[in-house]
Amino acid sequence: MKVLVCNKFYRPYGGPETQVLETSRLLEADGHEVVPFSMSHPDNWPSPWSGYFVPRIDYHGNPGPIAGIREAANIIYSREARRRITRLLDAARPDIAHMHNIYHQLSPSIFGPVKKRGVPIVMSLHDYKLACPNMLFYVDGDVCERCSGGRFRNAVIHKCVFGSSPRSAVCAVEMYIHRFLRVYQRSVDVFISPSRFLIDILTRCGAAGPRMVHVPALANVDAYTPTYENDGYVFCLGKLTPEKGIATLIRAVALISDTRLVVAGTGAQREELERLAQELAPGRVEFVGFLSGETLRRAMERCAVFVIPSVWYENCPATVLEAYSAGKPVIGSRIGGIPELVDEGSDGLLFEPGNHEELAVKISSLLADGASIVEMGRAGRGKMESKYSRREHYKRLIEIYRELVPGWPDAIS
């Protein structure tokens, strides 16, 4: 069977791209052909279908008036993406389409040609774009649901997109049009959500699709060797941006003498966080930049505890699943989809988001109890093997595909 996989990035970029790559590997391992559709980029993974990709688009610059109008139109409806996917569909003739993050650079213009050919559409949701113009439900340093129910004008009032009124206005108009036409809800046969929280909040905001299915994010459990020994440090992995709450973690570590923190990731807040660390915990916080592959695995496997201190509605953070795969306990914020992943007292602990004093207590309690670190780490690894394995994820995905494509092969390797 052929699966058309659409995502605006086809290279290492973030969590959605990890899901795209790993899901594609699962399908290919079972004999299916994956046909990607994305943007061109020199760092893309190789693909024989890359000639059909849309030209690279970057919305982070400062275009002039004419270019800005073109960008706005493209975000709402990309004629170029529609033309190119039409050619790809005629050449590849896929059996099913699996959409991921297609917003802005690809746009829902690609739905029409797919549906016209009778190809069913599955869409994995990685953020809150269907209900929130900036995708995060987070602005001005706090959780925000002002646009709930379709009140997208609030995005313009609060400059929610890149702190820019024009860009926020474009995204608000985009949301109004797509919501009025129910573009996503009418085109997508099944929405896949990695967390129950995302389903609940989209339902509450009036943005849920007719069929929403919960399938946890995919983690490569076997990529990690569970390690129940450690080098004593606290580990955090994520973008260095305010909503990730890393400042809270630094303040917590500052209250715990002789505790070392390793932070992996890049982002606009790095210099600010480095200054904060130097001020509050000099010499005890190390920023190691972007890690991947063996370097990341090594850092995760040698830590004592993994902390995810987010202050926004995390969906189903794959970093938590990676930590459990490595046999590490997780301390996470009690927000968004994180509590769905952490069984408090069994494989980790929870704290109120932004409360660095409570977080310090939780970290201290674990670091002082080596037996609990090992016990929780084993529990987390066991949970991954039984509930979040690649086989289990693939089984759930194929069940969805099989319902939509008569004759889908039964074999699950």
Do 397 and 258 share a structural domain?
no
Do 327 and 349 share a structural domain?
yes
Percent over 70 (pLDDT), the chain: 96
Query: How far is the C-alpha of 348 from the C-alpha of 329, rounded, in Å?
Result: 5
Do 212 and 228 share a structural domain?
no
Q: What share of the chain is helix, strand, coil (3-state, %, to 5)?
A: 45, 15, 40
60: pLDDT strictly greater than 70: no
pLDDT tens per residue across span 232-248: 999 999 999 999 999 99
228: pLDDT strictly greater than 50: yes
413: pLDDT strictly greater than 50: no
Do 35 and 21 share a structural domain?
yes
Count of domains forming the chain: 2
Do 227 and 198 share a structural domain?
no
Do 90 and 7 share a structural domain?
yes
Q: Which helix (H) or strand (E) holds 301?
A: helix 293-302
pLDDT of res. 69: 62
Pairing of strands 142-143, 138-139: antiparallel
- Establish if 409 belongs to a structural domain: no
Parent domain of 341: 221-387
Do 259 and 359 share a structural domain?
yes
| Spatial contact of 244 and 309, defined as CB atoms under 8 Å apart | yes
DSSP-derived secondary structure for 161-178 = TTT-HHHHHHHHHHHHHH
Q: Which residues contact 314 (CB under 8 A, 6 or more apart)?
A: 308, 333, 335, 336, 337, 338
Q: Please give the average per-residue pLDDT across 195-221, as a whole number.
A: 92
pLDDT tens per residue across span 80-100: 999 999 999 999 999 999 999
- Establish if 412 belongs to a structural domain: no
pLDDT of res. 59: 62
Which single residue is written with the structure tokens 């509590």? Answer: 339
Q: Which residues contact 399 (CB under 8 A, 6 or more apart)?
A: none
Do 158 and 10 share a structural domain?
yes
- Establish if 105 belongs to a structural domain: yes
- Establish if 410 belongs to a structural domain: no
389: pLDDT strictly greater than 90: no
What is the pTM for the complete model shown? Answer: 0.89
Do 262 and 158 share a structural domain?
no
Least reliable range by pLDDT among 10-14, 143-147, 343-347, 357-361 = 10-14
Do 249 and 212 share a structural domain?
no
Do 315 and 211 share a structural domain?
no
Do 241 and 367 share a structural domain?
yes
| Spatial contact of 329 and 373, defined as CB atoms under 8 Å apart | yes
